Amino acid sequence: MATKWYTLDRFEGEKAVLLLRSNEQEEKVVDKEKVMPSREGDILEVTLSKDEEIVSFKVLEKETEEAKKKANDLLRNLRNK
């Protein structure tokens, strides 16, 4: 088993699109119920089986809040230019 960090980028119908934190070009599309009750923007620590299926996950609250703060700060700086 492997553990990876993903950002829950968006929901598309019954699917959830996860972006690998170390390379946000790499997407993983999974059934929405596999990551519920997460929200878009949450950072998840995901445990994967050998065949890359989600075994378990947890929302990393601290990391999620830090990432949201950083994004908000960037947006504020762009608006103030």
Prediction pTM value: 0.87
24 sits in the region (left: phi over 0; alpha: psi -120 to 50; else beta) called alpha
Please tell me the predicted confidence (pLDDT) of residue 81.
79
In the chain (81 residues long), the average pLDDT of successive 10-residue segments reads: 96 97 93 95 96 95 94 92 79
User: Cβ neighbours of residue 10 under 8 Å, at least 6 residues apart?
Assistant: 16, 17, 40
**Which superfamily, per CATH, for 2-79?**
Nucleic acid-binding proteins (2.40.50.140)
Please tell me the predicted confidence (pLDDT) of residue 24.
86
- Return the domain boundaries, the chain: 2-79
Residue type, 29: V
The gap between the terminal CA atoms of the chain, to the nearest Å, is 46
